[in-house]
């Protein structure tokens, strides 16, 4: 066992950290000021000029597409080597975009690298890799419990040379971004096929007739400008059959492969979030005085700090192990571990953020500190990409398999 980072990872960590410290962290407030006060009228959302500057700089420095293990298209880093970079970026909610590493583009690019046709790559992967356009993933639906994928109701039916798309999706993150041009839509193509061969993934340009953003959904009252989370209706949307990725019926298979790295990325960013919350907590604990003592010396605050450190370190190790397994045995050999971190990381982050809010008093629930906003972000990740309950169910299923063969069901 060796818990040290590879020399390559260490070098990249230093460079990404320096970029964050120099460019992004000191300009967090300036970035939000460029966006203006949060609101849900997405047609008026705009891109921050700062972000465009950062993107240009990061690209110039080679800090670009770091998430992509494919050496031809991306940085060629293993999951183990990318993980600490995602943690560093996670400090600032919007930082990943500066490195062209933000969801859902990352997952969409991976899908196109692995399954895209040459034409699909040319048309959509290239501008995504360049950072000139952004993308969306249309999966979850408002009318059904999406934790059970077989509930999916939206359809993408093949008619001749076309695919006809109908249905309603929500939590379509990033759909409000002014640069968002393309979506990957998942729907039912053949309801009579085996349950893992019913769905297809289809590339849908957002300007295709019949695609309509109905509204943006707030998360704990915030719209996450300029990306947003949209509810989108599809009414007899027609795209060429060549827009299906890897052919009809392969949606489920692609989705499974897509979600592994995405979950790791989310979790590493959340660990960065948790570290930030602990930093704010400790800064407050050592600088604020009540009853004649710094808060750090009052009541159970040191226990809270210690438990935060414990929990964060556990979550990071578990995530690194999942990354290690993905690198060495692949997504399907790491399913338990991926589900594990998907449960652990958001809950750890929420616990630390909540403790940080509490020690900040009224300031903690306001926007004078980033804590309340981070809470909303982390809370959502107990639901996105499968709720805790589904992941716990998976872990238990694998655990019980060791015993069930021997006994009755």
Q: Does residue 358 touch a second copy according to CB under 8 A?
A: yes
Name the one range near a second copy by CB under 8 A: 187-195, 247-255, 258-266, 367-375. 367-375
Structural contact between residues 172 and 232, judged by C-beta atoms closer than 8 angstroms:
yes
What is the four-CA torsion angle of 14, 17, 21, 24, rounded to 10 degrees?
Answer: 140
Q: Does residue 282 touch a second copy according to CB under 8 A?
A: yes
- Measured CA to CA in angstroms, residue 58 lies from 11, 35, 76, 95, 247 at distances of 15, 21, 16, 11, 35
Alpha-carbon distance of 250 to 145, in angstroms, equals 22
Instruction: Judge residue 220's burial from the number of C-beta atoms within 10 Å of its C-beta, 0-12 exposed, 13-18 middle, 19 or more buried.
Output: exposed
**H helix or E strand, kind and range, residue 155:** strand 155-159
CB of 139 to a second copy, least distance (A): 11
**Residue window 34-63: x/- pattern of binding to a second copy, with contact defined by CB under 8 A:** ---xxxx-----------------------
Q: Does residue 250 touch a second copy according to CB under 8 A?
A: no
Q: Does residue 382 touch a second copy according to CB under 8 A?
A: yes
CB of 164 to a second copy, least distance (A): 26
**Nearer of residues 104 and 131 to a second copy, judged by Cβ:** 104
Residue 97 corresponds to which tokens in the numbers above? Answer: 């975009």
Q: Does residue 315 touch a second copy according to CB under 8 A?
A: yes
108: nearest Cα among 204, 18, 3, 30: 204
Alpha-carbon distance of 289 to 300, in angstroms, equals 15
Alpha-carbon distance of 244 to 298, in angstroms, equals 60
Angle 251-287/105-115 helices, nearest 10 degrees? 150
Q: Does residue 7 touch a second copy according to CB under 8 A?
A: no
Contact with a second copy (CB under 8 A) among 43, 291, 335, 355: 291
Q: Does residue 153 touch a second copy according to CB under 8 A?
A: no
DSSP-derived pairing of the beta strands 162-173 and 180-188:
unpaired
**Nearer of residues 129 and 267 to a second copy, judged by Cβ:** 267
Contact with a second copy (CB under 8 A) among 338, 364, 370, 385: 364
Contact with a second copy (CB under 8 A) among 114, 290, 332, 333: 290
Q: Does residue 76 touch a second copy according to CB under 8 A?
A: no
**H helix or E strand, kind and range, residue 339:** helix 335-359
Instruction: Judge residue 310's burial from the number of C-beta atoms within 10 Å of its C-beta, 0-12 exposed, 13-18 middle, 19 or more buried.
Output: exposed
- Measured CA to CA in angstroms, residue 280 lies from 142, 277, 379 at distances of 36, 5, 19
Q: Does residue 379 touch a second copy according to CB under 8 A?
A: yes
CB of 303 to a second copy, least distance (A): 5
Contact with a second copy (CB under 8 A) among 44, 247, 287, 333: 287
CB of 177 to a second copy, least distance (A): 19
Residues 295-314 binding a second copy (CB under 8 A) are: 295-296, 298-303, 305-307, 309-310, 313-314
CB of 356 to a second copy, least distance (A): 13
CB of 103 to a second copy, least distance (A): 15
**Nearer of residues 124 and 375 to a second copy, judged by Cβ:** 375
How many residues sit in the footprint of a second copy (CB under 8 A)? 105
CB of 244 to a second copy, least distance (A): 26
Residues 170-229 binding a second copy (CB under 8 A) are: 170-171, 217-222
- Within 13 Å and on the Cβ side, how many CA atoms surround 323? 27
Q: Does residue 383 touch a second copy according to CB under 8 A?
A: yes
**Nearer of residues 105 and 385 to a second copy, judged by Cβ:** 385
Instruction: Judge residue 309's burial from the number of C-beta atoms within 10 Å of its C-beta, 0-12 exposed, 13-18 middle, 19 or more buried.
Output: middle
Say how far residue 344 (Cα) sits from the centre of its chain: 15
CB of 143 to a second copy, least distance (A): 10
Q: Does residue 402 touch a second copy according to CB under 8 A?
A: yes
């Amino acid at each position: 066992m060796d818990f040290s980072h590879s020399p390559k990872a260490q070098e990249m960590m230093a460079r990404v950290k320096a970029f964050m410290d120099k460019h992004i962290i000191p300009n967090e407030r300036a970035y939000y000021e460029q966006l203006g006060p949060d609101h849900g009228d997405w047609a008026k959302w705009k891109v921050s000029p700062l972000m465009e500057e950062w993107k240009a700089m990061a690209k110039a420095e080679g800090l670009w597409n770091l998430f992509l293990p494919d050496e031809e298209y991306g940085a060629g880093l293993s999951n183990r080597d990318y993980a600490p970079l995602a943690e560093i970026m996670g400090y600032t909610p919007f930082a990943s975009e500066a490195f062209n590493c933000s969801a859902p583009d990352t997952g969409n690019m991976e899908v196109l690298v692995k399954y895209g046709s040459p034409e699909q790559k040319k048309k959509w992967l290239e501008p995504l890799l360049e950072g000139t356009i952004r993308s969306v993933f249309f999966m979850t639906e408002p009318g059904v419990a999406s934790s059970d994928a077989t509930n999916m109701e939206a359809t993408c039916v093949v008619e001749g040379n076309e695919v006809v798309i109908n249905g309603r999706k929500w939590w379509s993150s990033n759909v409000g971004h002014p640069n968002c041009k393309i979506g990957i839509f998942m729907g039912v193509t053949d309801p009579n096929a085996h349950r893992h061969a019913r769905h297809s993934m289809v590339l849908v340009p957002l300007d295709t007739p019949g695609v309509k953003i109905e509204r943006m959904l707030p998360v704990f009252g915030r719209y996450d400008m300029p990306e947003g989370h949209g509810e989108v209706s599809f009414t007899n949307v027609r795209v060429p059959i060549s827009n299906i990725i890897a052919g009809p019926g392969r949606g489920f298979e692609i989705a499974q492969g897509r979600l592994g790295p995405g979950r790791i990325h989310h979790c590493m960013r959340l660990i960065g979030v948790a570290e930030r919350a602990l930093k704010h907590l400790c800064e407050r604990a050592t600088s604020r005085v009540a009853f004649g003592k710094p808060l750090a010396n009052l009541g159970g605050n040191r226990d809270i700090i210690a438990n935060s450190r414990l929990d964060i370190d556990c979550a990071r190790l578990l995530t690194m192990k999942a990354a290690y397994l993905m690198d060495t045995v692949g997504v399907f050999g790491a399913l338990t571990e991926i589900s594990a971190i998907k449960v652990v990381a958001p809950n750890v982050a929420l616990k630390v953020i909540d403790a940080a809010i509490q020690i900040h008093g009224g300031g903690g629930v306001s926007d004078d500190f980033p804590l309340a906003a981070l809470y909303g972000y982390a809370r959502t990740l107990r639901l996105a990409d499968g709720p805790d309950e589904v992941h716990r169910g998976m872990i238990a299923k694998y655990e019980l398999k060791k015993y069930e063969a021997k006994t009755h069901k």
